[in-house]
Chain A
């Protein structure tokens, strides 16, 4: 057994690539070794800014010898075939064995592959790994042709056993593998020899390098917290930043510094963002006040002055950065306090949202009028919602958000407050982008809900109107996310709303926006838009005014907006697809959703989901599953009979033709079920309706058990078919169970 140690020493590797690179090195090398027959006990990979390291323990000294048997041509086959076989197998004719097979005598060759020493295999595998390393971006340097993330300077590659270490013989583009490593760039820039992994880690430590990124991160976090705690403060947790900073240093030295008094009045989000983005500083908070008061920076070396010069320099850079932020903050606040948020949003008229969808200002106007219409449905004041939508994106033209785009919304809330607007409006500025990710909190404040829905619906209809829909993995405008956002907003807030109506209206609004040049038709389109509120969908609204239109006008409307219903239907189908994905995570089957999708009101997402949840719940019971079987049986018999007889059995069956007790009992059960289902459906109490439906099961089962539907007496037969027709009608009034898979 031997242990393998590899170190690839280069110029500074980007922090964000280190973790993945160490994992890739491990899998490329260990997979290569195993494929070549070299198994091992354990392996670990590490990265610092300047090195990738891999330690493999308990590696076989050599790959095992293998013997392979290969079947050749028949004895007496043409000489050429035999020659080819011998060449391929690498043996001579004398080595062949002749065996008796069913179809005659056949040549067999035994090919023995001797095992190879570990060093030889390691050299091959490592060279292959280096030449084919999957860096996200790699480069050439000097006159060479080798590609690496940054210039590769040295390769350490040794196999160590109890009796000493052996350097693996390997040379890649002039870099010869050895047994030496380098210390810290500044604190110990010399080389040292290494005999194995433990020796390597110890000597690196002595030479001021902490090899394990987790150890560096832990050290930073621990030290930063200790220093903060000593002053009654706490470090604001940021795992991404911690991992990044641990990838920027080989020797983490934690230094805590002050933020000048002048800047402490800035919003905490501004301080945090500026310090993180520009300087990679951690924020240190006063737990009592929530204020950010200090920062933590991580240096890559110890100094004679205990970091005083480094800290002073960092503080100075921070002060310059924060003076910029303070300048923006004061300017922005002055603007809105004096002239309101409108002063800020005015500049959005010159900002293009999308070249086919007009300016940000035009977009905001559309969102505001949609928010005004949605407001009453979600319990918000219409004017407040429209105002919130009008100012919600104003901060996009603030100086602060220009500098720090990630503060969009957050600054809007501060500026709305400075402008003297209500908390509901200010919160909508911040929260109307939510939910972004699938696990983000969903806003519940009515004004925010109205603006968030309007914003997302406008975006979706806009891109649908210009046919820029997501395809495959491409979704550059995050439309899937927007649709999921709409779904979650509706469900979380139990909002009852017909998407059709708003989608049609907003699609038309987009058509009006692009048709602006052609004013002849614009007034008619606007009139139809007004009618949609009354009539629900585009088609009905168009019909409502079509009497007043000349044939030419009708044709013009058709050419400008005739596609609205189809586009709307397509977008609704997209919502339904997103809904299926969303509900799948909740354990609701796709066929359950399909059974509900074909029912009326499928553009009301909340209603749809209520129905689907109730159906899934029913299917999870024994009665439910059996009822489905009964329904299917009834439906199959009916379908066959209807096809044969050429009639539809949907007339009411008559009790007087019922012969057996089971048949009579089914009449009674259907009466009971119907009496419960009808009011429950009217009250949209799907759970009650489904449970009443499931209750029919014993009677249905008993009926099929005892009764022969296709009776000889035709009157009785038809009556029974009509009875089955009633089962079908009752079930289909709840959901289309034909979609349910057994």
Chain B
């Protein structure tokens, strides 16, 4: 039985269709954040923009790194570097579930033939001091997305609430394209003059980073950088709101948040290197959370975070 919707043929076509779909639904299609992050949620377009009352709608691809998941490119679906597609809409629209189902249709999943289910899965990020309620979405028993209504980020209640969708692109694409090993997945059009598989693009880097993450990364340096990033984050936020040069109110939230992201990734690398004990682990997570909370506190003091001079006076 053939499906009624038209099927994509490559990894990149799935990404392109998601971009086109969410663009048509009114999202600002952003580009990936230019730093190493563990998940699309870390992009300031999600973490910071989910705070405050200013409406927001954005979607983007985010390369994500999980150093401990490296398998030298050999495991059929585990990677230390992979892609997430992320949608964040604030306030969450009443038809967000339908919008989401529309996006599945756009990438070739026909709800007439498949069994799509919303299965309870509450989301919590101890490093971001964030939590929300929602589901993991199952397609024929396979988890294809995370669907979350943010309740708190950086220790702040989300008012209004943002709806967040996260698609694990490789897994989703492998399912749609019927591929068993991620490295075999067509990256571009399989009929292109130079057809490239996911393996052609990423097999070597997976090997290199797996070796680096597990055995070679200089832990002393990483520890030092962690301390520095932490100190810098606090230092930037400790500066007075008024810039002495321009006389303007310029709180350096994003530069500080960059340091928080850095610290988080450095922690992940240290974890992969196995130099963090179980008890220390909690302490490191707590230190990153402190940074995330400090950035969230600062963001709501900025214009994008809903601050106005009137708010200040009230």
Q: Interface on A for B, CB 8 Å cutoff?
A: 11-12, 14-16, 49, 137-144, 149-151, 153, 186, 248-249, 279, 297, 299-301, 303-305, 308-310, 312-314, 316-318, 320, 323, 351-352, 355
Contacts and interface: CB of A to CB of B under 8 A. Distances in A.
Given A142-B93, A279-B141, 14 more contacts: A11-B97, A15-B120, A140-B151, A142-B94, A143-B159, A143-B161, A149-B133, A304-B1, A304-B112, A310-B140, A312-B140, A313-B139, A313-B141, A320-B77
A351 B279 CA distance: 11
B122 interface: yes
Interface in B133-182: 133-135, 139-142, 149, 151, 158-161, 163, 175
Contact of B94 (A150, A153, A313): A153
A318 B113 contact: no
B141 A151 contact: no
A11 B142 contact: no
B117 interface: yes
Nearest to B178: A316
B115 interface: yes
Contacts of A301: 115
Nearest to A327: B75
A309 B92 contact: no
Nearest to A189: B98
A16 B175 CA distance: 28
A151 B91 contact: no
30 contacts: A12-B117, A12-B118, A12-B119, A16-B120, A137-B122, A139-B149, A139-B161, A141-B92, A142-B91, A142-B93, A142-B161, A143-B161, A151-B149, A153-B94, A249-B117, A279-B141, A299-B115, A300-B115, A304-B112, A305-B1, A308-B1, A309-B3, A309-B113, A310-B114, A310-B115, A313-B115, A313-B142, A314-B140, A317-B141, A352-B277
Given A15-B120, A141-B161, A320-B77, A352 B1 contact: no
B216 interface: no
Question: A-B pairs with the 3 shortest C-beta distances?
Answer: A313-B140, A14-B120, A12-B118
B111 interface: yes
Contacts of A186: 111-112, 116
Interface of B: 1, 3, 76-77, 91-94, 97, 111-120, 122, 132-135, 139-142, 149, 151, 158-161, 163, 175, 277-279
Contacts of B3: 309
A143 B140 contact: no
A139 B132 contact: yes
A412 B131 CA distance: 37
Given A139-B133, A143-B160, A314-B141, A352 B278 contact: yes
Nearest to A174: B94
Given A16-B120, A153-B94, A309-B1, A303 B112 contact: yes
A151 B94 contact: yes
A275 to B, nearest CB: 10
Contacts of B159: 140, 143
Given A248-B117, A304-B113, A355 B279 contact: yes
**Which of A139, A248, A309, A355: most chain B Cβ within 10 A?**
A139
Contacts of A317: 140-142
A317 B140 CA distance: 8
Contacts of A320: 76-77
Contact of B119 (A248, A314, A351, A355): A248
Given A137-B122, A310-B140, A12 B114 contact: no
Contacts of A297: 141
Q: For chain A, what secondary structure do more than half of its interface residues adopt (helix, strand, loop), or is it mixed?
A: loop
A317 B158 CA distance: 36
A143 B91 contact: yes
B58 to A, nearest CB: 17
A309 B114 contact: yes
Contacts of A141: 91-92, 149, 161, 163
Contacts of A312: 140
Contacts of A142: 91-94, 160-161
A208 to B, nearest CB: 13
A305 B151 CA distance: 41
A255 to B, nearest CB: 9
A150 B92 CA distance: 12
Nearest to A13: B120
Nearest to A311: B140
B133 A137 contact: yes
B132 to A, nearest CB: 7
Nearest to A247: B120
Contacts of B118: 11-12, 49
Nearest to A278: B141
Contacts of A153: 94
A139 B151 contact: yes
A445 B23 CA distance: 67
Contacts of B151: 139-140
A141 B94 CA distance: 8
A248 to B, nearest CB: 6
Nearest to B113: A309
Contacts of A151: 92, 94, 149
Nearest to B139: A313
B140 to A, nearest CB: 3
A456 B134 CA distance: 40
Nearest to B1: A305
A352 B141 contact: no
A308 B115 CA distance: 11
Nearest to A314: B141
Nearest to A297: B141
A300 B160 contact: no
Contacts of B278: 351-352
A355 B279 CA distance: 8
B141 A150 contact: no
Contacts of A308: 1
Residue with the greatest number of chain A CB neighbours at <10 A, chosen from B77, B94, B115 = B115
Contacts of A15: 120
A503 to B, nearest CB: 29
A669 B232 CA distance: 93
A12 B122 contact: no
Nearest to B3: A309
A140 B149 CA distance: 8
Contacts of B91: 141-143
A362 to B, nearest CB: 15
A301 B261 CA distance: 43
A299 B140 CA distance: 8
Given A137-B122, A317-B142, A303 B113 contact: yes
Contacts of B120: 12, 14-16
Contacts of B279: 352, 355
Contacts of A352: 277-279
B108 to A, nearest CB: 12
A225 to B, nearest CB: 21
B151 to A, nearest CB: 6
A152 to B, nearest CB: 10
Contacts of B113: 303-305, 309-310
Contacts of B117: 12, 248-249, 300
A107 to B, nearest CB: 52
Contact of B161 (A16, A137, A140, A299): A140
Contacts of A144: 160
B191 to A, nearest CB: 25
Chain A CB within 10 A, most for which of B76, B91, B117: B117
B162 to A, nearest CB: 10
A164 to B, nearest CB: 31
A141 B161 CA distance: 5
Contacts of B277: 352
A143 B56 CA distance: 13
Contacts of B141: 279, 297, 313-314, 317-318
Which among B76, B120, B160, B161 has the greatest number of chain A C-beta atoms within 10 A?
A: B120
